[in-house]
Structure formats: C-alpha cells, structure tokens
Chains A and B, each alone.
Chain A
Amino acid sequence: MIIAMAAAARLFIRGAHSTLAISGVGTGRQNSLLKLSAGCSSRLKAQRHAAHFTFQPDPPTTEYGDTQKMNLFQSITSALDNTLASDPTAVIFGEDVAFGGVFRCTVGLRDKYGKDRVFNTPLCEQGIVGFGIGAAAAGATAIAEIQFADYIFPAFDQIVNEAAKYRYRSGNLFDCGNLTIRAPWGCVGHGSLYHSQSPEAFFAHCPGIKVVIPRSPLQAKGLLLSCIADNNPCLFFEPKILYRAAVEQVPVDSYTIPLSQAEVLQEGSDLTLVAWGTQIHVMKEVANMAQEKLGVSCEVIDLRTILPWDTETVCKSVVKTGRLLISHEAPVTGGFAAEISSTVQEECFLNLEAPIARVCGYDTPFPHIFEPFYIPDKWKCFDAIKRMINY
C-alpha cells in the first residue's frame, strides 16, 4: 500500500476515503496517472515518518455518566450538540460551519437545530469575532469558529481591545462573557507557516480573556463546556493533529472540567514536566523514557488553562521536585514557558536544583519540510532532562 502516511498527517485530508476524482476537462476519470517506480518506494516509506507522539487516552471513567467512543472532533460536536439542546440562545457561526466545518466539528448540527443557529459567515475573521462580541453582549451564547488559529490575527483587535476589555471599561455595565472562540491549533506534520501555529502566548498577555487548550477528547468536551458556561470571553484552541488521532470514551451528556486548574497526570519526585495540548503526549512518553533509561521519576502536569493559569499546582510540584521543564511548540522567545519560568523562580527560587528548562520551537516561522527538526520532540526533552539531572 503506497499510502504509508501516519494517522496524524492523514487527518488533514478531509473526506480521505472519498473516491470522487474531479479530473478537469475532456478525458473524464482516468486510471491512476502515476505508477510508483521501483527505486522510489523505499525513499517514500522513509519520507512518511511516524508522528512525533502517540496519543495516550486517559483511563475510562463513569464519573460523568454513559460514555461513547469519540475522537476529538466528535467530542467537540457532542459539546456543541449538548449546548444547542439546552441553551436556546446558543448560536454557532464562522467559515464553512454549515456543512460541518473543515474538520467536521459541526457535522449534523445545522440540520438538527436550524440554519438560524448554525450558519456560515462571510470570509472575515475580524467580522466573525466582532459579530460574536455583539451577539454575546446582547445576550446570546455566541460560539465563533476561526478556521485555523493561524488566521486569528485579523480578529486580534476585536479580541484584545474589545472582548477582553468590555466588562472592565464599562464598569461592569456590559460584558461579552457569552462569547467563546474556537480554533484549530498546533502542528500537524505538514502544516507549515500557516496551518501549524500555536498563538497562545499572544493572548496570554491580555487580561480579560481566558485561553484553554485540551489534550484529549474527554478533556476537550468538558473544558469547552466550561468555556461556554464561563461568563468571560474564552479562546479554545483545539490540537488539530488530535482531531482523528485521539480516540477515547467520552461522556454523552454534558459535564464540565474546571478552568484554571492544572492536572497532575502522573506523580513523580525528581522533576516536573509542564505542557499542554499535543505536547502532553510527548511528555508522557518522555517521563517513561526518563524512568527507564535514567531512573528519574517525573511528575507530568497538563496546564489546561493558559490564562489565568494555575500557579499553585505548578509551584507545589516544583517545591517537591526541585526541577522544572516546560515544553511547547511555539517559539521559545516570549513563549508561554517564559511566563511560567519567571513566576516559578519567583515563588520557588530556593527549591530549585537546576535552572528551569524550556524545550520549545525555535525563533523562526513554522517551517514545512524542516518540521521534524523544528518541533520540541521527545529526544530534545529527554536530553534536557539528562542535563538537568546532572546539573
């Protein structure tokens, strides 16, 4: 089988199993124009290297009622479905959401709830967010979709100057707390400059909004429902590489997972690892590698909410372990690890056995063909742990 792509890279192809071939003029559908020549096949297999992580589902839980197997985009659909069912003011809008969205997060919702509640907007991010702010301020539960986080920047003015400041500037007369903005986020194997970005650091610098990033379908649904319920404007970034690759048992009914609460995924005594989103799955593997190869016991923390972030859980852990490694795909300079590092050294200075390490993307735009070298993979994290332990 020639199609040796990793599942992670595959997800980017919507409708991957469709055989519809639009062939252009004249000749109609043709048998494959391409035959693989013998020499190329081994090179190609090497080209499609495996994804840099393995999704690790959490153990199934009955805490929230009956569950169903869902991937990440299905867990989002489920959260939106629950919301539209219970909240008559809720509306979902953005580019291409009507037919189900480019990542299928809104499939079926328009048919189920009506075209006045799930609708396409013109192609204009500043308009989508501005419209959302107004709808929220007027009392509707507004759920806006930005097609890729890389395209959120035309809306930056509306988010930073308007949404974030609405309540404060009006003396609490007005607010847009009913607004939630969702956007696909993070690297995907071949997304390059404009389909891979992790812009949380830009928004972390903006008091008045909340920024939330889930690591899994179960977390995503609960956190998204919390964002929607929260009376502050929220940005919800969805790791696109997990849309299909992450599958686990997810409760069918509504449930919430608290915002601004980091989660300790595994306890350890020697070193604290902090990450969010896709990178959590890298960190879990790194923790195993550290245990097996170095005898180092790592505590893994999923930050979950970037703003306002849970300093208490992180500091408590660093007081215990004395070492901290933070990792994110976004470029290291001014990335969110810098904020965590700065706060932790203020709070835990005398507890630190080694300088705080940041294993992050380089200070370049996100490259296409160099992605395997760019990302903060498990080997870079493992190596940083080695150096910290030996400091």
Chain B
Amino acid sequence: MDRQGKIINPSEDPQLSKETVLNFYQKMTLLNTMDRILYESQRQGRISFYMTNYGEEGTHIGSAAALESNDLVFGQYREAGVLMYRGFPLDLFMAQCYANADDLGKGRQMPVHYGCKDLHFVTISSPLATQIPQAAGAAYALKRENMNRAVICYFGEGAASEGDAHAGFNFSATLECPLIFFCRNNGYAISTPTNEQYRGDGIAARGPGYGMLSIRVDGNDVFAVYNATKEARRRAVAENQPFLIEAMTYRIGHHSTSDDSSAYRSVDEVNYWDKQDHPISRLRHYMTARGWWSEDDERSWRKQSRKTVMEAFERAERRLKPNPELLFTDVYQEMVPRLAKQRESLFRHIQQYKEHYPLDLYEK
C-alpha cells in the first residue's frame, strides 16, 4: 500500500477478506484508544507508568495476523497489539497495569509487562534484548517437538545493539531454529536516534552476516508486514532456519510516561509521521476506497471502543490488589524454609503495626 492506501503492486496484495481487514483496523484503533486512556491515567496518578504504541500498530497487527495462534511470542515491551490481536481481553490489560488481583502476573511487575500462557505470549521483562537468545532456545525446543510451531521475537533497533542480540542471531543460525526475528526500527531508543545507534545499513543488513535471510519492510504498511511475516513463518518452519524482518516505522509517542521527547526531537517531525504516514490512516484509506468503512462506521466504532475501554478501566480501578502473601510465592516452584520464615515474620509484623500498611487496598 502507498500512503493513501492504494495497492502499489497487485501481485503483492494479500487479498484479505473484508472481515479480516476490518478486524485489523479495529484492533489497531482499539489499541490506540486503550493507549490514550492509559497514558492519561498515568498523568493523573492512577497507574504508575505506561508505554504507548503510537505509530507502530501496523507492525503488531500485521505480524500477529500472519502467525499461527500457538506460535510462541517473545516481545520487548512495545508489542501490546500482538496480544490484543490474539484476543487478550481489555480487563486483563488493565489488570496488569493496575496490578490488581486479576493480574495474571500477580501484581509483581510494572505496567505493560504483559504475559499470557494461553495465548503463547511470554511475559515481558524490562532488560533489553534478553529475549533474543531465549527465543532461539525456545525455537530449537519447538523444532524438536515437531509440531510445526514457530517462534517470533520482537525487539527495537536499539536493543539490537546489545550483546544478547549477537548471541541470539548467531545461535539461531548455527543451530537451525524456526524463528522470525522482527525488529521494529522506530527511529529512537529513548533519545538516541538511529545514527547514534549504528552506522551500518540498519538491522536487516546484519542478517546475512549471520547467514540469515533478511528483509526490510515498510512497517506502517500492515499488508507488507503481513506478507513478510507470513512467508518468513512458512519457510522458518519448513526449512528450520531463522529469518530477520526489519520493519521501518516511527515511534510517534514518547518513550514512556517518564519521557518528554520534545527535549530531543521537534514536534514537526512527530506531526509529520502522525499525519503523513500512519498505519491506521493508511489502512483506513484502503477500506474507505472499497466502501468497507464509512464516516458513520468510524464514529460509532470510536464511540464503542472508547466505551468498552473505559468500562474495563473503571472495573480495574475498583478492583483490590492481590493478597500480599503473593509477594513470597513463585520465587522457586516450591516454598523454601527461609522464605517461609520471612513471610511469617512479615505477617506477624503487620498484625502489630497494621495501621501503617495500606491493607484496605489488598485482598485479604
């Protein structure tokens, strides 16, 4: 697709059904709506932290749609759309951000560190690129399992500078793993632009150095992302080798709620991408050109999605936090004596000093 949503090369049109394309659009916009509400909620002190996905929705939805539902996903932290596409409910996104008693992760991590075993999305951790060699190992194990499952591993162009990236790329190639490396090259690693991150030809050019087939795609063209991921997945599983996809996109939002990007880039630059090359707009042009989406559809969808997000938000906010005994579990699979003693001593302490602890906010 070009920036007006017109197919450039008809032989590359994936010719997805109206239902599929509408789903792409709705997932991208629902993500955008959730992002705006949760970002705002952090500014109001209601959640502690948030990271938006503005501008990168196409990379999430396009790639997620090209995978099988049981392919294993290793992410970095800016791939919430992949989870959304797979059907992770708003209530659970919110539960994780609010660290309430419904959080699958039991309230232990900062917001946006999602994970879901049922949807095959490995829990996010903050350290960068640590997931890359892990993805290689997982792919190797899945190869031996022989169930035609693939692994996809997402990371940014900044994380690709870490030593772990080198390890993961090299291992996956030498050990012949069915793995898709998906690099979101969004222009910035917090304040660091790409010309300070690398001097070579981006991340895609590194692939051949490892013996890995690589492709660079327009990350804001959801169909291009879909096509590349689909083909990479097919061959990764058929041939047991890794593929590297570098999706060129732009981080429209700040790095996180702890960042003010006007300190290092111009508002004009950001507005350019927001107005001229946005994955959501481009797909919308494609849809309206086919008569698949009207102004009325847009209005009522926006209203409906905002309503469902707000309802989930309000539910999550009212929910209690998890029982403090969950502070002590899952360190090991089994409880160890020393930790059990520490748990007992905390509970004895809280009994005696209960007015100094926010017990009302937590489940009993």
Complex Cα distance A380/B357, Å? 12
Kindly specify which of B10-18, B207-215, B251-259 makes contact with the partner chain: B251-259
**Chain A residues within an 8 Å CB radius of B45:** 2-5, 44, 48
Most chain B CB within a 10 A radius of its CB, from A9, A40, A49, A372? A372
Q: Say which residue of B32, B263, B339 sits within 8 Å of A100 (CB atoms).
A: B263
In the complex, B136 has a CB within 8 A of chain A? no
Tell whether B141 is near chain A: CB-to-CB under 8 Å.
no
Interface positions, chain A 364-391, Cβ under 8 Å from B, are 364-365, 367-370, 372-374, 377, 379-380, 383
A285 vs B358: C-alpha distance when bound (angstroms): 20
- Expressed in whole angstroms, the minimum distance between the Cβ of A109 and any Cβ of chain B is 14
Q: Judge whether B353 and A2 touch: CB under 8 Å.
A: no
B258 touches A12 (CB 8 A): yes
Once bound together, how far apart are the Cα atoms of A370 and B326, in whole Å?
Answer: 8
Q: How large, as a class, is the contact surface on chain B?
A: 35 or more
Contact A193 B327 (CB under 8 A): no
- Is B128 located at the chain interface by the 8 A CB criterion? yes
- Of the residues A46, A122, A364, A368, contact of B358 by C-beta under 8 Å: A46
**Least Cβ distance of A129 to chain B in Å?**
11
Number of CB contacts from chain A to chain B under 8 A: 208
Nearest Cβ in chain B — how far from A24, in angstroms? 4
A122:B161 contact, CB within 8 angstroms: yes
Nearest B-chain residue to A44, judged by Cβ:
B46
Q: Which of B43, B163, B262 contacts A124 (CB 8 A)?
A: B163
In the bound complex, CA of A151 to CA of B162 (Å): 11
Asked if A26 is at the interface of the complex by the 8 Å CB criterion, the answer is yes
Question: B110 to A99, Cβ gap below 8 A?
Answer: no
Q: Does A173 interact with chain B (Cβ within 8 Å)?
A: no
Q: What is the CA–CA distance of A362 and B321 in the complex, to the nearest angstrom?
A: 20
Please report the C-alpha to C-alpha distance between residue A35 and residue B81 in the assembled complex, in whole angstroms.
26
A25 at the interface (CB under 8 A from B): yes
Among B109, B331, B357, which residue has its beta carbon within 8 angstroms of that of A192?
B109
CA distance A67 to B211 in the complex (A): 60
- Decide if B108 touches A122 in the complex (CB within 8 Å): no
Q: Are A370 and B327 in contact (CB under 8 A)?
A: yes
B contact residues around A151 at 8 Å (CB): 127-128
Q: Which range holds the interface residue count of chain A?
A: 35 or more
Contact indicator A123/B327 (Cβ below 8 Å): no
Q: Would A24 and B258 be within 8 Å (CB), given that A34-B44, A44-B46, A123-B189 are in contact?
A: no
Interface residues of A in 5-53 (CB under 8 A from B): 5, 9, 12-15, 18, 20, 22-26, 30, 32-34, 36-37, 39-40, 43-44, 46-49
Q: Contacting B357 at CB < 8 Å: which of A22, A153, A193, A373?
A: A373
20 extra A-B contacts, CB within 8 A, seeds A22-B274, A370-B322: A14-B259, A15-B263, A18-B262, A20-B267, A24-B253, A25-B274, A40-B317, A44-B45, A47-B361, A95-B190, A98-B196, A123-B197, A154-B164, A190-B49, A190-B110, A192-B108, A363-B342, A368-B99, A369-B108, A383-B349
A residues with CB within 8 A of B: 2-5, 9, 12-15, 18, 20, 22-26, 30, 32-34, 36-37, 39-40, 43-44, 46-49, 95-96, 98-100, 102, 120, 122-127, 150-151, 153-154, 189-195, 332-333, 362-365, 367-370, 372-374, 377, 379-380, 383
